[in-house]
């Protein structure tokens, strides 16, 4: 054939259509579907992915592609098909769907950056004083030094010298004092060592009969039916996944293991490494771009066969994929927050279908979506009802905060004598304690006792959180920060009252209550640096910390046998959010953190403090019972109640604009369009709700409205989002299967 040849190319842009380019003869063999090409876009150049080669010539003049970047197409035919599926299912522009699938540097026209990062002087704590007594002894006459120490600790143990000086006003002399005392060191950042590089835990040599039965049943079951491994906390689910994978890997196939957040699950990563050694590529955000690219290439070339990582690892270029495992499948972090807003579970199911791989979903508290798949025969559940070694699940005592006796010294802090006694006894026996409070900061708001004004974020319709060490009012949605005012901005009243307990205040109280205990706090504020999670969990594992407190971060799959007491300080923090999953998330969080207790021989005990002891989420969590929770919750998501997933599918259209009137007007237009579509081709299959202001009515200076549509048939929603994609309106976010309605 002579004459020019053409290909359609997807560009990583929010536009619905693909572009046609001419493919020069010397690029023809490489510019095949799935391969990256450099093409001109206006006056610039961009990297795109070939969708189809040898297409018909376009009506208008097509410019020639400039370079073809791949020897082997970056996206295999299976992954390209997965990208098309994502684009169609979520109504996302194809270019954005494909962009989510490849590491960032592969989209760069310039050479990808190497592993080097800019250097900077960093202060790092090298010796910790986790108990109040130690700290008081060390800083008797040095309050500034103590403040610096505590600020560093609150920042995760390390911070750039510049940040400390400019933002927090901590002088060089104070830092020098810490260094003299042997508590800190100042270094020019060399890249910190990757703590995952050598982590490996050998697997237990023999499976229990329960585990063996599940492993065999999964391997004998049909490949195309997802396997839900529903095992109570501590039942040994990890060994089951790995035994199934081992069969596949021994047969030369590859596998993907997905974890909610890699920094929070070092034990799982270590076990995968223990099972598969250097066949494993760990993909995590702590890697530099260059390192991540190396890991990607090693998988693409089949030099490594098992990928472990967070949600984006569902796209890992594993060759001859035999299985995808999703550990803690109920975790909200499996939903991507920006376009294409995919849910890893659904993408994994589609990828497994395309590639003929098994899908394994594991959790002690499966999502209702997954339980519904089991109920309707689209997945099969394998149960592990017993803990390893027949250890009992820890008894859970529910303390009613409305009536319970409290420790008087705790004042405003909800601290019952029951929880106090349990913690005191565990510490006396030299055992470890985990305390959950799912709210960071010191206090959740600051209010003037005279005029009632609450300090709010100027850009978001939300109260500012009070922080100490370092002190500031902070917005948890947009990171806005201001100094804590000395007086009320409205009426001038001199004292301000704080309300709502946060982890910093709890830590402060615990320090006073248990002065000899070594305490560590884990929340977003203490884990801002790369390896901070790992460092805190390491200290806890080594026994250098007695009491670990934190937000939901501490509830994820940790396995520490010396933890005998778990306390949920306030189980109600998420119970009343205006979101249909509020009860489900509360159940999962409480049941999961309860499951951290009693994993060793000494047994365990859990205390849950709540003002709603009869709520089904609390009761079911106290009984470690998924069945009880599902039996109470599923009917609430069906008629006569307003229907919600899994009973129906949802798509949420979010409109966010700086101008309030325009936002409301655009929302009206979106709703009108949806209603017209419903009256027309969709023949009334849709329920259109709204427009209404979002519960978070203003965020980052934008007014937010949403329109929520529901349909019983997935096909209906697919048609809606694709029709909307074809219209292409930038200011509207389309979120299918939303993780929240806030
Ligand atoms: P889950 O993820 O179900 O909560 P894990 O997989 O973390 O449970 O296992 C709980 C603990 O039991 C771990 O310490 C693990 O090493 C141990 N374990 C798992 N299977 C076995 C086995 N077959 N024999 C001995 N110990 C086991
Ligand atoms: Zn804000």
Domain that holds residue 148: 118-191
Q: Which of 77, 107, 137 is at the close of a domain? A: 107
Residues 218 and 359 in one domain: yes
The per-residue pLDDT for 271 is 92
Give the model's pLDDT for residue 49: 97
- Phi and psi for 673 in degrees, rounded to 5? -60, -45
Q: Which of 351, 302, 301 is nearest to 326 (CA)?
A: 351
261 and 297 belong to one structural domain: yes
SS3 471: coil
Which ligand is nearest to the Cα of residue 464, counting in written order? 2
Structure token pair of residue 654: 């979010």
**Cβ of 205: how many Cβ atoms within 10 Å?**
5
- 3-state SS, residue 39: strand
Q: Ligand 1 pocket test: which of 210, 214, 236, 364 has the largest number of ligand atoms within 8 Å of its C-beta?
A: 236
- Quick check: is 127 in a domain? yes
Specify if 474 maps to a domain. Answer: no
Number of H helices, E strands in the chain: 20, 30
Q: Which atom in ligand 1 lies closest to the alpha carbon of residue 211?
A: 23
Of 582, 605, 635, which closes a domain? 635
* Spatial CB neighbours of 386, under 8 Å, sequence gap ≥ 6: 210, 232, 235
CA of 460 to the centre of ligand 2 (A): 4
**Contact status, residue 388 vs residue 207, Cβ threshold 8 Å:** no
* Residue nearest ligand 1's atom 19 by CA: 236
Secondary structure string (H, E, C) spanning 607-667 = EEEECCCCCHHHHHHHCCCHHHHHHHHHHHHCCCCCCCCCCCEEEEEEEEECCHHHHHHHH
Ligand of minimum distance to the alpha carbon of 239: 1
> What is the pLDDT at residue 363?
96
Predicted local confidence at residue 136, as pLDDT: 87
CATH number of 686's domain = 3.30.70
Q: What is the pLDDT of residue 2?
A: 63
- Our mutation pick for probing the ligand 1 site, out of 213, 215, 228, 238, counting the most ligand atoms within 8 A of Cβ, is 238
User: Quick one: which ligand is closest to 475's CA?
Assistant: 2
Ligand 2 center–CA 607 separation, angstroms: 34
Q: Which whole-number Å values give the CA distances from 510 to 414, 569, 578, in the listed order?
A: 12, 12, 31
Ligand 2 centroid, distance to 459 Cα (angstroms): 5
Which residue shows structure tokens 């006459």? 141
In this structure, the answer to whether residues 41 and 131 fall within a common structural domain is no
CATH code at position 520:
3.40.50.300
- 372 C-alpha to ligand 1 centroid (Å): 27
Whether residue 510 is found in the same domain as residue 550: yes
Co-location of 558 and 660 in the same domain: no
Tokens 């510490």 found at: 427
Are residues 19 and 97 both part of a single domain?
A: yes
Ligand 1 site residues (CB inside 6 A) read: 204, 206-208, 211, 231, 233-239, 388, 557, 559
CA of 466 to the centre of ligand 2 (A): 13
CA of residue 482 to ligand 2 center, whole Å: 11
pLDDT of residue 1: 52
477 within domain boundaries: no
Residues with pLDDT less than 70, the chain: 1-2, 111-119, 189-197, 729
Q: Which ligand is nearest to the CA of 458?
A: 2
Same domain assignment for residues 404 and 278? no
Cα 215 to Cα 165: distance, rounded to the nearest angstrom: 56
Total tally of structural domains belonging to the chain: 5
Residue after which a domain boundary falls, among 107, 137, 152: 107
pTM of this structure: 0.91
| pLDDT value, residue 113 | 46
Which residue is closest in CA terms to ligand 1's atom 10?
Answer: 234
């Amino acid at each position: 054939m002579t004459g020019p040849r053409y290909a359609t190319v997807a560009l990583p842009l929010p536009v619905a259509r693909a572009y046609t380019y001419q493919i020069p003869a010397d690029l023809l063999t490489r510019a095949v579907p799935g391969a990256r090409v450099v093409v001109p876009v206006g006056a610039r150049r961009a990297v795109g992915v070939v969708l189809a080669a040898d297409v018909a010539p376009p009506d208008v003049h097509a410019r020639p592609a400039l370079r073809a970047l791949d020897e082997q197409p970056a996206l295999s035919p299976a992954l390209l098909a997965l990208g098309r599926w994502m684009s169609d299912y979520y109504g996302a522009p194809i270019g954005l769907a494909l962009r989510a699938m490849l590491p960032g540097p592969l989209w760069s026209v310039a050479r990808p950056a190497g592993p080097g990062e800019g250097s900077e002087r960093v202060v790092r704590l090298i010796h910790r004083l986790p108990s109040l007594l130690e700290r008081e002894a060390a800083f008797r006459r040095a309050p500034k030094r103590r403040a610096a120490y505590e600020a560093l600790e609150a920042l995760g143990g390390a911070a750039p010298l510049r940040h400390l000086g400019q933002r927090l006003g901590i002088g060089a002399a104070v830092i020098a004092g810490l260094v003299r005392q042997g508590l800190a060191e100042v270094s020019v950042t060399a890249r910190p060592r990757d703590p995952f590089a050598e982590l490996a835990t050998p697997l237990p040599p023999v499976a229990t009969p329960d585990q063996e039965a599940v492993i065999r049943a999964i391997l004998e079951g049909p490949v195309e039916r997802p396997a839900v491994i529903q095992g109570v906390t501590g039942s040994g689910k990890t060994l089951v996944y790995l035994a199934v994978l081992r069969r596949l890997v021994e047969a030369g196939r590859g596998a993907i293991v997905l974890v909610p957040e890699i920094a929070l699950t070092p034990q799982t990563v270590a076990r995968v490494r223990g099972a598969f050694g250097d066949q494993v590529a760990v993909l995590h955000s702590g890697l530099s771009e260059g390192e991540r690219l190396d890991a990607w290439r090693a998988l693409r070339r089949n030099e490594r066969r098992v990928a472990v990582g967070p949600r984006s690892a569902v796209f890992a270029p594993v060759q001859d994929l035999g299985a995808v495992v999703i550990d803690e499948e109920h975790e909200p972090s499996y939903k991507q927050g920006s376009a294409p807003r995919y849910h890893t579970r659904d993408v994994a199911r589609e990828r497994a279908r395309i590639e003929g791989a098994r899908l394994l979903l594991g959790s002690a508290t499966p999502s209702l979506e997954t339980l519904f798949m089991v109920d309707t025969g689209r997945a099969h559940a394998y149960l592990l009802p017993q803990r390893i070694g027949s250890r009992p699940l820890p008894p859970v005592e529910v303390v009613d905060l409305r009536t319970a006796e409290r420790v008087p010294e705790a004042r405003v802090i909800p601290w019952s004598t029951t929880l106090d006694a349990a913690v005191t006894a565990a510490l006396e026996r030299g055992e470890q304690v985990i305390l959950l409070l799912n709210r960071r900061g010191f206090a959740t708001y600051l209010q003037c006792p005279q005029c009632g004004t609450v300090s709010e974020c100027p850009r978001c319709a939300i109260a500012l959180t009070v922080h100490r060490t370092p002190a500031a009012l902070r917005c948890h949605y947009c990171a806005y920060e201001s100094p804590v005012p000395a007086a009320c901005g409205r009426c001038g009243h001199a004292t301000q009252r704080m309300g709502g307990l946060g982890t910093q205040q709890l830590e402060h109280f615990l320090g006073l209550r248990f002065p000899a205990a070594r305490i560590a706090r884990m929340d977003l504020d203490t884990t801002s640096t790369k390896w901070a999670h790992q460092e805190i969990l390491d200290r806890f594992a080594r026994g250098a910390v007695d009491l670990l407190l934190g937000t939901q971060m501490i509830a994820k799959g940790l396995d520490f046998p010396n933890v005998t007491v778990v306390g949920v300080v306030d189980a109600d923090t998420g119970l009343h959010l205006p979101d249909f999953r509020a009860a489900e998330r509360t159940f999962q969080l409480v049941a999961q953190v309860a499951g951290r207790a009693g994993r060793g021989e000494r047994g365990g005990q859990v205390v849950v403090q709540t003002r709603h002891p009869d709520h089904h989420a609390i009761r079911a969590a106290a009984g470690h019972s998924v069945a009880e929770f599902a039996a109470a919750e599923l009917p609430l998501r069906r008629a006569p109640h307003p229907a919600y997933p899994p009973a129906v599918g949802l798509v949420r259209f979010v409109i966010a604009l700086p101008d309030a009137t325009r936002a409301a007007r655009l929302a009206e237009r979106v709703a009108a369009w949806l209603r017209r579509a419903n009256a027309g081709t969709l023949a009334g299959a849709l329920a259109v709700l709204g427009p209404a202001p979002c519960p978070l009515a203003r965020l980052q200076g934008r007014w937010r409205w949403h329109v929520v549509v529901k349909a019983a048939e997935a096909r209906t929603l697919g048609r809606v989002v694709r029709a909307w994609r074809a219209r292409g309106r930038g200011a509207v976010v389309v979120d299918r299967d939303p993780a929240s309605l806030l």
